[in-house]
Amino acid sequence: MERERFLEYYQEIQRPLRAYLMGATRDLHDADDLSQVVWQVLWKKLDQFDDSRSFKGWSFGIARLEVLKWRQSKARSREVLSETALEKLSDTSRDQAEHLSARHGFLLDCISELAVLSRRVVDLKYGEGRRSREIGELISRSAEAVDMLLSRTRKHLRECVKRKTLEAR
């Protein structure tokens, strides 16, 4: 496969793939680490890829294997989804890849529509990686109030993205 095509495929599925890994690991750092591993494996095995197959299917298959390996390392943790659930999620994220990729643009719009305080809290939490207590100190709120605000904001963003997705169809 040519590099340019690989680049195109990468840009096409990197978001849905990352969403799947985030769902499997529940932790953005683990998801990013796994994402690194998956793309390294894909790149190394590129010569073995049969162009007549679906690159998306192949990629998510490899991602699923890496998730299962990761899962085995976390076997003692009670917060890991079952293998069956993870496999099902892999299939669904593969099938919904376009839908998940397209949400990105709508998310940008929805964030722009947030109230000032909500936007500030989102920036502090997800842009600067601050903890709720730190955010609370900056905006004179309790940590619990910050968590509540974040929860409401995420709900608002979910609904906004869903609405814009439907409007765009």
Binding residues for another protein restricted to 97-126, rule: CB under 8 A: 99-105, 107-109, 111-112, 119, 122-123, 125-126
Rounded to the nearest whole angstrom, what is the least distance from the CB of residue 141 to another protein in the complex?
18
Q: 68 or 81: whose CB is closer to another protein?
A: 81
Lay out the site mask for another protein across 32-61 (x = CB under 8 A, - = otherwise). xx-xxxxxx-xx------------------
Query: 160 with 110: CB under 8 angstroms?
Result: yes
Contact call for residue 16 and another protein (CB under 8 A) = yes
Query: 55 with 76: CB under 8 angstroms?
Result: no
CB atoms within 10 A of CB 43: 12
Binding residues for another protein restricted to 57-76, rule: CB under 8 A: 73, 76
Contact call for residue 146 and another protein (CB under 8 A) = no
CB atoms within 10 A of CB 25: 23
Rounded to the nearest whole angstrom, what is the least distance from the CB of residue 154 to another protein in the complex?
7
The burial of 167, by beta-carbon neighbours within 10 Å (0-12 exposed, 13-18 middle, 19 or more buried), is given as exposed
Q: Which residue type occupies 99? A: H
Rounded to the nearest whole angstrom, what is the least distance from the CB of residue 140 to another protein in the complex?
21
Backbone angles phi, psi at 21, to 5 degrees: -65, -35
